[in-house]
Structure 1
Amino acid sequence: MLIIFYFAIKHYRRPQITHNLNNNYPEYKPTVTVLVPIYNEAIVINKTIEAILQSDYPITEILVIDDGSTDATTDIVQKNYGNNKLVKLISKKNSGKSNSLNIGIKNAIGEIIVTIDADTVFHRSTITHLVSHFSDPDVGAVSGNCKVGNIINQLTLWQHIEFVTSNNLEKRAFDVLQCITVVPGSNSAWRKRVVQNIGYYHYDILAEDAELTIRILNADYKVMYEDRAISYEESPETFKSFIKQRVRWSYGILQVAWKHRWNIAHSSNKTLKYFAIPSMLFSYLLFLTSPLIDVIFIASLIEGTKSIYLFALLFYVTDFLNSFVAFKLGKENMKPLLWIFIQRQVYRYLLAYVTWKAVLMALKGVHVGWNKLNRSGNNVHKI
């Protein structure tokens, strides 16, 4: 936590890179294609496209790639945007998100590819901030700042806390160390030429965005984080849907780690090899052993070991300070931090269950499908 905190602050203090790129390169205006892969998104698609159209960046086109929707999604797109020259609908048989994205890239005019999920809403300046980093020819991908747009109950509030602390600390730190392992498909930008050269998205991985990110890093391109490129997405609102989503995420990350184990071990990117991957493995180990850790902790309390009280106090104070700084860096309302202690206790058991389930499924060789979540339309962010 302290190492991540140090580099996150270092990132925040790099105004030349993270806050003044547009001023330094005012003439840099590459062509941009926005990809919106969709499958049964009738409830949310209209708001997503409207937000993109209100972007302050002169985008070249919006490619909406329909993966064989069975609801009214395509009818809504055709009815509302059929006469809009920027919006182009590509329909195909159901074959998965990676295939949709690859078809979009192959048909794209833009030099820069921006991807967004159908339940996500961009801020007006998001694309501008994402694109600005590509003025550096060594940049292959840029991650935006994802936020929860449907804070309607305790579970989504806890996810909001997780998103803020993760994006505003880990992503900042990993940016400085040049070892960002996941550029989220819901808010990302990619240099088209780089994606083409390294072989597009792969179909055999659930975490297709993480897998592509690792290949870009191993190809010696930079992967950046832009905190001003803000998006609001719809997070799971029930425990059942949360478990379903996180099992897919965890299983997908395990697939990526296994698939690229040799490449990572021999990577020239030392921070990826010696910091980011060990940090990820440590997180998995922590989730897997959290019930055992609590048993040992309770046993120590019964035994009356004084050092355990000091350690617990130090841990929770450090964790709270890190969370406080993360909210401060993100200019977020501090009120959710009142829940931080309870969130940490309950949330880690949810993640422990998810991690154990993903690991056991991986060991058994069980196939995990995409398990797309049903949209609620509760993303309350105003365009």
Structure 2
Amino acid sequence: MSRASRRRAAHRKQRNRRLPLRYLLPSLLLVAVAVMLLLRGYVHSEFLADHRVRPPGDNDRVPREILEGGPVVDARGEKPVTYEVPDRTIVLTFDDGPDPEWTPKVLDKLAEYDAHAVFFVTGTMASRHPDLVRRMVAEGHEVGLHTFNHPDLSYQDPSGIDRQLSQNQLALVGAAGVRTSLFRPPYSSHTHALDNESWRVTEYIGRHGYITAFNDTDSKDWARPGVAEIVERATPKKPGDGAIVLLHDSGGDRSQTVTALDRLLSRLTSQGYEFANLTEALNAPSAHTPATGLELWKGKAFVGAVGLSERLTGVLVVGLAVIGSLVLARFGLMLALSATHARRVRKRGFAWGRNPVTEPVTVLVPAYNEAKCIANTVRSLTASDHPIEVVVVDDGSRDGTADIVESMGLPNVRVVRQANAGKPAALNNGIAHASHDIIVMMDGDTVFEPTTVRELVQPFADPRVGAVAGNAKVGNRDTLIGAWQHIEYVMGFNLDRRMYDMLQCMPTIPGAVGAFRREALERVGGMSEDTLAEDTDITMAIHRDGWRVVYAENARAWTEAPESVRQLWSQRYRWSYGTMQAMWKHRRAVIERGPSGRFGRVGLPLVSLFMVIAPLLAPLIDVFLLYGLVFGPTKETVVAWLGVLAVQGVCAAYAFRLDREPMTHLISLPLQQVLYRQLMYVVLLQSWITALTGGRLRWQKLRRTGVVEAAPVTTVPAQGRRRGEHSHDPEKSALV
């Protein structure tokens, strides 16, 4: 094996090691984001919680001593017992927290009076606000379990009860590093209100080592009856009696509770009451035990993951606001500027110069293994109504592409053969063999209409024009993937192009149909191999050199779009990565003066926003749709998503009207938004990873079928044939 062969083999081996990583990283990132959102939805969602509350039932199986006993039930032993709070002792209990707004105010008020209390926290709130739980423990308060997401446990089977307890305990361990033996069931009241179902739960809880704390003094602050009423209900009925008082530090507006707490503490302190936590009041060992080992790490990992999901969701919400603003701004700009552009183009007497362009031009056709398409391509050119010479540059094809062209024996068609060197080299070779000063470039899988070349070169009547973009259209639009690309092309060529035209910063001339002034090409050094998007690269270079880049709407070219997801992935991956390379190459335009600086400070930011950032954030619209459907609010989420779709539908319909296309393909627009956008997102994400990791991407040849045999007959108004427009490449336009 030669040294060169060994180098190529080593390069292939290295590439094969790296490719799976580039596919793996986007997948892992998507899975991680999905898991974080699911976790966030689980700890937040009211939709998933069971809000059923069982009405009171029979209590014939509840022991009489329990019904008539104190508010604290210990069912851990063979015989359950109850306890009462000693005289002149108040155990303040707060349910449903911690709440980031009201719990700190409650803690501040307790600290002011040097009072202790018991906080029965839910797992969802404790995992979201662990700092408040840590503060409770640090300030001498006790923490008890109140289930994970507040269901009526009488509706739960043993596995459901176990899950509520273990998840609630896990959140407490992760937040404060302690376990607790105190428990209060949601929707509970006094012990005399126990029925057979709730007693079954209390017994089960006791067998698992928990003491159940009910109450004997209910403030009913959840109903917000007024501060005075809350204070009155929270005060023991008999002066001097001890009590367990039920209050809430979460679940809504608790301003009345905080105010009432101040008055209650002041009144009862003056009457000689003490405010203790439950074990202090009962002179029992602390309900808290330190968590250690694996249990502690599991709790910290859970709370840490919840915190990460909260921060991630905050970032995604900001991203959603950004993409929403970008989408609306983009569509608003496109509609406003495209309407102005259309009126300008339709203006009577519009022409690019005093005289039409009639001199012959050279058409370059770079071809690599285009045996299935090349005959259709060359034959369409020979039908042109403008004088042309055709130069087919065979880039080392192995399927007889050059032989097919030569065997056709067509006049004014030449074949130039070269060793395989890539598309930019083939185009530069073709430029060297071109006989004329205006050079048209097209792909080997594209067919022109008879009027395409003539329409494409008319803008060169203006000596300021250095390059012209034609109207590339999808020829194989009968498949679903083809129809989606057809929508993308039409929207890109009829709205984006007009916006960029009015702003004078078209970023790309499509490789399928574009024309250049030889002088402009020579001044910028011809086609460059620096990037994988040579069409974007050359367009930006011509802009920076001071030339105008315009668009010829009626210069239609029909190209074969990828027909499989794999081929589409390969093509868009190359485009996305190549566009990033071109932007990086021309980044100095941002700080330069003259035409280059104008393009750098207007064109590059717009390309970054609408072709890189917006497509990368666009799937957030669908992510939050799924999130809203699962976790709510469902109605508002669906309405918002349909609103975005409606805006896109209006823009697409307007674009189809401008391009004189039938509206039937827009039927697949909703499905395109759900599926096609995700594919474009993953492609762009992979391109970002490739760029950030310093990867190199080789040229990826698509498998052609030759399905586009001839250009469809298009009726163009005579007046429209004299007009042209600015544009950018729809192939590089990401659909948002």
User: TM-score under structure 2 normalisation?
Assistant: 0.49
Deviation at 1:233, TM superposition (A): 0.2
- Shift, 1:56, TM fit: 0.7
Shift of 1:299: 4.0
- Of the structure 1 ranges 256-265 and 156-165, higher mean CA displacement relative to structure 2 is found in 256-265
Larger Rg: 2
Cα contact 2:471–2:556 (8 A) shared by 1: yes
Is 1:31–1:109's contact at 8 Å kept on the other side of the alignment? Answer: no
Q: Is the 8 Å Cα contact of residues 153 and 237 (structure 1) preserved in structure 2? A: yes
In the TM superposition, residue 86 of structure 1 has moved relative to its aligned partner by 0.6
Q: What residue number does 1:280 align with?
A: 607
1:95-244 equivalences in 2 (<5 Å): 95-244=421-570
Letter in 1 for 2:614: L
AA matched with 1:362:
A
Counterpart of 1:6 in structure 2: which amino acid? Answer: A
The answer to whether structure 1 residue 8 and structure 2 residue 334 are counterparts is no
Q: Return the alpha-carbon distance in structure 2 between the equivalents of residues 264 and 184 of structure 1.
A: 24
Question: How much has 1:25 moved relative to structure 2?
Answer: 3.9
Cα separation, 1, equivalents of 2:347 and 2:573: 36
Letter paired with 2:404 = I
- Is the partner of 1:278 in helix, strand or coil? helix
For the structure 1 residues 351 and 265, does the alpha-carbon distance in structure 2 shift closer, same or farther, using more than 3 Å as the test? farther
For the residue of structure 2 that corresponds to 1:251, the secondary structure is helix
Gaps of 5+ in 1: none
The one-letter code matched in structure 1 to 2:374 is I
Partner SS for 1:46: helix
Give the CA deviation at 1:351.
Answer: 0.3
**What is the CA–CA distance in structure 1 between the aligned matches of 2:486 and 2:531, rounded to whole Å?**
26
Post-superposition shift, 1:300?
4.9
Bigger mean CA deviation after superposition, 237-246 or 361-370? 361-370
- Given that 2:449 and 2:711 are in contact with CA atoms closer than 8 Å, whether structure 1 keeps it comes out as no
Matching residue's letter, 1:13 = R
How much has 1:316 moved relative to structure 2? 2.1
Measure, in 2, the Cα distance between the counterparts of 1:191 and 1:203: 20
Q: Distance in 1 between matches of 2:598 and 2:480?
A: 36
Instruction: Name the structure 2 match of 1:347.
Output: 676
8 A Cα contact 1:112 1:192, kept in partner: yes
- Provide the secondary structure at the position in 1 that maps to 2:662: coil
* Paired residues of 1:30 and 1:111 also in contact (CA < 8 A): no
Give the letter aligned to residue 587 of structure 2. R
> Where does residue 576 of structure 2 map in the other structure?
250
Deviation (angstroms), 1:107? 1.7
Shift of 1:40: 0.9
- Whether contact under 8 Å (2:428, 2:526) holds in the other structure is yes
- The secondary structure found in structure 1 opposite 2:467 is strand
Per the alignment, in what secondary structure is the counterpart of residue 21 of structure 1? coil
| 1:73 corresponding residue in structure 2 | 401
Question: Would you say the 8 A contact 1:66–1:90 is kept in 2?
Answer: yes
CA contact (8 A) 2:544 2:599 kept: no
Displacement after TM superposition at 1:317 (Å): 2.0
Distance 1:267 1:315 in 2: 39
What are the Cα deviations for residues 189-235 of structure 1, in whole angstroms up to 9, with x where unaligned? 00011100111011121100100000111111100011100010000
Deviation at 1:108, TM superposition (A): 1.0
Unaligned runs of 5+ in 2: 1-330, 713-736
Contact 1:177 1:271 in 2 (8 A): no
Task: Determine helix, strand or coil for the equivalent of 1:213.
Answer: helix
Cα–Cα, structure 1 residues 379 and 264, in superposed 2: closer, same or farther, change >3 Å?
A: farther
Measure, in 1, the Cα distance between the counterparts of 2:466 and 2:645.
Answer: 37
* Post-superposition offset of 1:7: 1.3
1:85 Cα deviation from its structure 2 partner? 4.0
Match 2:655 to one of 307, 326, 330: 326
SS in 1 for 2:654: helix
**Deviation sequence 1:297-332 (CA, Å, 0-9, x none):** 444564438765554343222211110000000000
Going from structure 1 to structure 2, the CA distance change for 1:308 and 1:348 (only over 3 Å counts) comes to same
Q: Residue 440 of structure 2 aligns to a residue in which SS?
A: strand
1:13 aligned counterpart, secondary structure: helix
Report how many residues are paired: 379
**1:362–1:347 CA distance, 2 compared to 1 (3 A):** same
Query: Quick check: 1:150–1:380 contact (8 Å CA) kept in 2?
Result: no
Contact 1:205 1:211 in 2 (8 A): yes
Contact 2:376 2:709 in 1 (8 A): no
Deviations 1:84-126 (A, max 9, x none): 4411111111101100101111221111000010100011111
The residue type paired with residue 342 of structure 1 is L
- Over 3 Å counting, the alpha-carbon distance change for 1:275 and 1:344 in structure 2 is farther
Q: CA deviation at 1:63?
A: 0.7
Considering Cα pairs closer than 8 Å and 6+ residues apart, tell me whether 1 or 2 has the greater RCO. Answer: 1
- 2:207 aligned partner: none
CA deviations on 1:240-292 (whole Å, 9 max, x unpaired) are 00000000000100100111111244354576444443333224223323444
Identity across matched positions, percent: 36
Distance 1:321-1:274 versus aligned 2 partners, 3 A rule: farther
Q: TM-score, normalised by structure 1?
A: 0.93
Once the two structures are TM-superposed, the CA of residue 172 in structure 1 deviates from its matched residue by 2.0
Q: 1:326-345: CA deviations, max 9, x gaps? A: 00000001001111111112
Partner in structure 1 of residue 699 of structure 2: 370
Q: SS state of the match for residue 695, structure 2?
A: coil
Shift of 1:296: 3.5
